[in-house]
């Protein structure tokens, strides 16, 4: 379905900017959940890693917001775009399920960014080429892959049995 939306996703700088603002909102929301995890876990190593992840999420939110505003400065006047959700996922799910949730989310985000980056690459040499947004996606993907890997590692220590890990 996402691939079918390609012609609409990149149709204008405003459309791209609104999509990047949605990414920024998701990253801001993740920041709050990672901060809750860092403040709640009893394991010092995981606490440090969650805190580092929160810093990454905050940086990503800023990067997406700045690029969106560069593409469409009028978005600075839309307060609804700067909101964030805080769902208390760590508290609600517990640490193992929280890590599974984050792991799958990072995996999906990375796949989505690869698809978007490849779409932008297909516009190379045309007026629709957007090398700045493509570079932004590439930069964020590095962190997303790291987040995907560490959550899998932590999850395997919290839920060591393969059946438990899959659940």
Is residue 14 a contact partner of residue 72, using CB atoms and an 8 Å limit?
A: yes
Enumerate residue ranges in the chain where pLDDT < 70: 1-3, 6-7, 80-82, 127, 161-167
**CA dist., res. 35 & res. 84, Å (int):** 13
Owner of token pair 């609804």:
80
What is the pLDDT, as a whole number, of residue 54?
98
What is the pLDDT, as a whole number, of residue 8?
74
**CA dist., res. 77 & res. 57, Å (int):** 23
What is the pLDDT, as a whole number, of residue 129?
79
């Amino acid at each position: 379905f996402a691939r079918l939306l390609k012609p609409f996703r990149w149709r204008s700088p405003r459309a791209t900017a609104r999509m990047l603002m949605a990414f920024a909102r998701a990253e801001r929301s993740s920041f709050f959940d990672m901060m809750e995890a860092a403040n709640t876990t009893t394991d010092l190593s995981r606490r440090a890693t969650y805190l580092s992840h929160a810093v990454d999420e905050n940086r990503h939110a800023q990067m997406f917001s700045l690029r969106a505003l560069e593409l469409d400065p009028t978005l600075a006047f839309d307060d609804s775009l700067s909101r964030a959700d805080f769902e208390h996922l760590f508290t609600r799910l517990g640490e193992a399920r929280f890590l599974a949730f984050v792991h799958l989310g990072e995996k999906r985000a990375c796949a989505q960014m690869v698809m978007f980056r490849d779409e932008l690459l297909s516009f190379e040499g045309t007026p629709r080429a957007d090398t700045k947004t493509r570079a932004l996606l590439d930069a964020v993907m590095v962190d997303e892959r790291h987040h995907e890997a560490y959550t899998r590692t932590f999850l395997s220590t919290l839920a060591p049995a393969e059946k438990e890990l899959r659940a």
